[in-house]
Amino acid sequence: MFTKLARSLHDHFSANSLQLTKRLCSYTPGNKNHSPVWAWNEWDPLEEIVLGTPEMACCPEVLPEAKACISENKFDFLIKHKGKYWKSVIEPEHYKLMLDEHANFIRILQGEGVKVVHPEPIDFAKTFKTPNFSAHGVDCAMPRDFLLIVGDEMIESTMTWRSRYFEFMCYKTLIKDYWRRGAKWTAAPKPMCRESLFKENYCADEDSSAFFDEKTSILTEEEPVFDAADFIRCGRDIFAHVSQVSNNSGIEWVRRHLAPKGIRVHALNFVDPKPMHIDTTLFTPRPGVAITCPERPCLQIGLFKKAGWDVVVAPYPDIPKNFPYYISSQWLSLNVVMLDEKRVLVEKDEIGIQKLFEKIGITSVKVPFKHCFSIGGGIHCWTSDVRRRGDLQNYFDWPQELLEKFEAK
Chain residues binding ligand ABU by CB under 6 A are 229, 276-277, 280, 328-329, 331, 377, 381
Choosing from 139, 298, 381, 385, which is the catalytic residue?
381
* Residue closest to 309 by CA, chosen among 287, 293, 338: 287
Minimal distance, residue 228 CB to ligand ABU, in Å: 11
Q: Identify which of residues 39 and 276 has a Cβ nearer to ligand ABU in the complex.
A: 276
Q: How far is the CB of 396 from ligand ABU (least distance, A)?
A: 25
272 has catalytic annotation: no
Question: Residue 389 CB, nearest distance to ligand ABU (Å)?
Answer: 27
CB 271 within 8 A of CB 296: yes
Cβ atoms within 10 Å of 99's Cβ, excluding its own: 14
**Could you give the CA distance from residue 125 to residue 341 in angstroms, rounded to a whole number?**
40
Rounded to a whole number of angstroms, the minimum distance from the CB of residue 61 to ligand ABU is: 17
Identity (one letter) of the amino acid at 337?
Answer: V
What order of strands is seen across the sheet that includes strand 184-187?
147-150, 153-156, 184-187
User: Which DSSP symbol is given to 61?
Assistant: P
Residues in CB range of 389: below 8 A, 6 or more apart: 38, 44, 45, 47
| Residue placing its CB nearer to ligand ABU in the complex, 263 or 381 | 381
Number of residues that this document lists for the chain: 409
CB 335, min distance to ligand ABU, A? 7
Give 38 or 382: the residue with its C-beta nearer to ligand ABU. Answer: 382
Residue 344's DSSP bridge partners are 338, 364
CB of 105 to ligand ABU, least distance (A): 17
**Minimum distance from residue 313 beta carbon to ligand ABU (Å):** 16
Specify whether 145 is catalytic.
no
Listing DSSP states for 127-160 in one string gives: EEE-SS-EEE---BS-HHHHEEEEBTEEEE---S
Nearer to ligand ABU, 220 or 280 (CB): 280
Bridge partners (DSSP) of residue 363 are 343
Q: Are 226 and 247 in contact (CB under 8 A)?
A: yes
- The residue (of 78 and 183) whose beta carbon lies closer to ligand ABU is 78
- Determine which one of 139, 227, 279, 385 is catalytic: 227
Residue (262 or 294) nearer to ligand ABU, CB: 294
**381 a catalytic residue:** yes
CA distance linking residue 311 with residue 302, whole number of Å = 9
List the catalytic residue out of 34, 277, 371, 380: 277
Nearer CB in complex with ligand ABU: 155/183 = 155
Catalytic positions: 227, 277, 381
